[in-house]
Every structure is written in C-alpha cells, then in structure tokens.
Amino acid sequence: MLLTLTALGGLGLIAAGVAAIVFFVFLLPPKHPKNIPAIPFWVALLPFFKDVDQSDIFHKYMDKPLRTHGAVKLFFGAQWNLVVHRPSFLAEMFRDEDMYQKSGNQKKIPHSVLAMFLGDNIISSHGTTWKTYQAVVKPCLQQKFDSSLIAKNTAKLCVLIRQATQKAGDGGGIAVQELLQRYSVANCSEILLDMETQALERADAPLNVLQTAVKREIFQPVFMNFPVLDRLPFPSRKRARALVAAFKNELKSALVQGGGGGGGRKVSESKPKPGLGRGMLDAAETGRWSEKQLLDNLTVLFVAGQENPQLLMISTLYLLAKHPVVQDAILDEMSEQGTVNNKSADNQQLQELPYLTSVIYECLRLLPPIGQLINRQVDSDVVLGGGIFIPRGTYVGYNCYSTNRSPEAWGPDANEFRPERWGSTHEQIQRQYRQRRARAEFISFHGGRRACLGERFAMLQMRVLLTVLVRQFRWWLDPTWVDRKTPVSGASSCFSAGPLYPRALRLVFANRQEESSAGSDLGGGGPKL
C-alpha cells in the first residue's frame, strides 16, 4: 500500500511538473508588448464548457481593455497574439504590408485540420506568392456582374421563404440561416465560379451538406487553441480530415463539370473576361498554379465568397427586423427613385439609392461578418504607434467588432443602429466611406493593399436581396427566438477568425398588402430588378 501511495504521489508530481511546464512555456503571457493587458487564456475555451453569448464574453472580458490600451494579448493557436483595436494603430499596420506580413494557418498551425482545409491561399499568402494569386483572382472578381442573375436566385429564395412560412402556420417564425446559406452558395457557385450546385433547388445539395459538416468539425475551441491535439488519432479529427478531403474533391469536380464559363459576367461586354472559375482552371492548366494551389484557393474563395455574405445577410435581416421602419424607408426610396417597379434595374441604378447603401454600411459596421482576424506576423522588431514594442515573429490581428464601434471615432451612439450617420446623398456617403476606410475606423472589408477583393460582389448581392425582399415582405423577430450571438460551442470561436452574428435567427415574414406586381411574377420565374 505504501509503495502504491508513493507511486501515485510520484505520478502526481510528474503531472504537476508537466502542467507547470505547459503553463510557463505556452500559457504564461509574454512580457512584450509591455503595458498591454492579457486576456486570460481560458476565456477562449468558455464555449467548449457551456453555451455562451459571444457578445457577452466580448463585453465582459475584452471591451474595456481593448479601448483603454488600444490592444490586448490573446491566446489562440497555441501561442499568444496581439489583437489591435485603435484605428490609428490599424492604419499603420495596413500601410506597412512588408512589416506586418500576412501569414495564415498553413504557417501558424501547419499540421491542423484548419490548415489542411484552407491551405496557402490569396487571403493568407504574402509577397510573390500572393501576387501570383492576385493576378488571376483580382481581374475576375472586380469585373461587372449581371444583377439579373442574382435577382433570379433571390426570387427562388422568396419562394422558399413563402413555403417555410406556410408550413410554420399563421404568424409562425422560420429559421433563416439555412435558407440564406443555400442562397449565398448558389450566388457564389453559379455567378462567381460558374458551376452548378443546385443549392436553392435541393436542401441536400452535396456541397451545401459537406460544407455544413466541415464547419461543425473544424471550428472547435479546444482544437483551435491547442492544434497539437489535431495530430492525435481522435475519431473526430479523423472524421474532420475525411470531410475536408471530400469537400475539396466535390468542389473541384463541380468546377470542372461547370467548365468555368464565366456566366456571371456582363454579357454586353465586347470582350468578356473569363469567370473566376475559368481563370483558376486556366492558371492550373498552364502551370502558373500547382494542383494544391488551385484546390486551396478554390476552397477559400468558395468559403469566403458565400460564408461572409451569408453572415452579413443574417445580421442585416436581424437589424432590419428590430427596426422595421427602415424596411419601409428603403421601399419609399425605391419608389421615389422609380426603382420599385423597375424590373431591369442594374447595379449602377441600385448604387444610386443612397439610403439603401447607408443601411448596408451600417449593418457592416455594427456586425461585421468577420468579428476578429489574426493572420499577420511581424517580420522584425517594430514599435507600433510610437510606443508599443512588438518582437519579431509575433502574430498580430484586429477586432473588427470593437474598432467599428469605437466611440472615439463614431461618437457616443457608436453602438446604435443609425444609417443616417453616413450621409443623405450618394456623394456624402461615398466621401464618408472613403475617409473612414482610410483612417481604419471602418474595417469590415479590412484595409490597405489587402482589402477584400470581393467587396463589389458582396455589395451587389446585398442591394439586390434587400430591394427584392422589401418589395415582397415585411419581417420581424420571432417572439419565441432567444437573442444570442454566434453558434453553440463547437461551431466557432470569436477569438480566432470567427463571426459574431445572431444565432439560429428566426423571423416572421408577412406578404406586403396586395402584393406588388413584382411579387406576382414569382410563378413565372421570379421578379427581375
């Protein structure tokens, strides 16, 4: 018995020693940057242990330190990172891309499932590699897209909303996230990548199902924060790797079958540019990209191209449900501009609806699709903002949710939904937008040379979606829905690159009185803008 107790005591000492080593090597916050507080490492693990509202976590643990010091130290990916809030710091980071270099999970946590999923891509690469990717992707993403194709998909979405509402019964609410995911997948695949997924026609479309399964397996707080566990033969990790491989294969197969024909571009162009899908296939076929580079970029462009717009759609419908007067104001503006019954309005005409633009910007400001992002690494020792010493190799990022709501930049009502703050004319709104972007006070599309290349397409989708929906419906929050932000633990962590959006949002939809002629066209293929 004595020997047994002695052995147990020895094992206990060994375990305590290992725990102490792990704490001091990995979990003890670094000395630098000095005078910058550290968020306790266990905060990022809270979603693993209990159902939490990520906005509550942010306000309880991060809000005050970020605004007081302009930055915090945050544990993620088995190391401590610097997360920046102050706009002037961010503007400095965005200007110096060579110092604050993009460095994604393929370098930070190379053996993780997340790194396997996204690989080396246009968002996280740097230098010559990034330029190689950009030369293919940028021209394809920044051409003019045909808004009528998005309008057709929006008409199909309206049909699905009506069907779900009828099934729910009189006054019943419906879950919108799955419907909006199918809608954004259809737009991304058919218009950006020129491939057919049947996401709107089939709830069980392979890419839609696989993507949902992959997200459920990958974004788990424990594995995100301690990626070394990804190397262990846990059944969930084996399942995650198998799902990632199946997803990439299905995506490549759909792209090849679709041929990347460029169906989303304006057909009126005399020399139409190739679509994004065709452009990437050409890069691989000519040897400019390797097969792995094709798969990695295809994956990240599909994920970002439909996930981020989807999150913006959810948050926008949520905010407009809380402010129904805004729905009516958009419709009034359309009526005044002669757009409400114009079934052939193009992107240029939609851009000339200033209040609509200000509503979208305000939704992007309050609930940016990516609430926080840590994907830059300092190339050498540097002093940020004239006083924050950052050692070489430190990973740095920013909290979009916090910066976009900075009272110093936006005033005491920074947390309030007020589209009018952007201005009342197209010129005023665009001037405000450019100034806010230049000062890094509005970073939903990030900034500098590495600003989001898909901004134009995202804004077009939102303009089409809102103009069609306000013609067709009024909507408000389902009174039985619990207002919480972000998914249940296991789906995402707001301390990585995770979103902060209304969880499992449920809305009640009602047809506008004596539906407009645009609404009555649904049976014949849907309204066209």
Binding positions: 452
**Residue 449: HSE in the Cβ half-sphere, 13 Å Cα cutoff:** 16
- Check: CB of residue 71 under 8 Å from CB of residue 397: no
Alpha-carbon distance values, 52 to 62, 89, 225, 488, 504 (Å): 15, 30, 17, 7, 14
Q: Beta 372-378 vs 388-390: how paired, if at all?
A: unpaired
For residue 3, what are its two tokens? 């020997």
DSSP 424: S
Residue corresponding to tokens 């550290």: 38
Tell me how far apart the alpha carbons of residues 441 and 431 are, in angstroms, rounded to a whole number.
14
CA 151 to chain centre: 22
The angle, 0 to 180 degrees and rounded to 10, between the axes of the packed helices 354-366 and 455-472 is 110
Tell me how far apart the alpha carbons of residues 417 and 316 are, in angstroms, rounded to a whole number.
11
Alpha-carbon distance values, 182 to 369, 454, 456 (Å): 17, 19, 20
**Residue 22: HSE in the Cβ half-sphere, 13 Å Cα cutoff:** 10
Closest residue by Cα to residue 384 from 32, 1, 8, 11? 32
Residues 6 or more apart from 317 whose CB is under 8 A from it? 176, 180, 469, 475, 505, 507
Burial of 192 (0-12, 13-18, 19+ CB in 10 A): buried
Q: What H or E segment, with its residue span, contains residue 431?
A: helix 426-438
Binding site residue list for heme: 452
**Edge-first strand listing for the sheet containing 174-175:** 174-175, 506-511, 473-477
CA angle 235, 41, 60 (to 5 degrees): 115
Q: Beta 79-84 vs 395-399: how paired, if at all?
A: parallel
Tell me how far apart the alpha carbons of residues 497 and 468 are, in angstroms, rounded to a whole number.
31
- Check: CB of residue 486 under 8 Å from CB of residue 501: yes
SS3 annotation, 86-132: CHHHHHHHHHCCCCEEECCHHHHCCCCHHHHHHCCCCCCCCHHHHHH
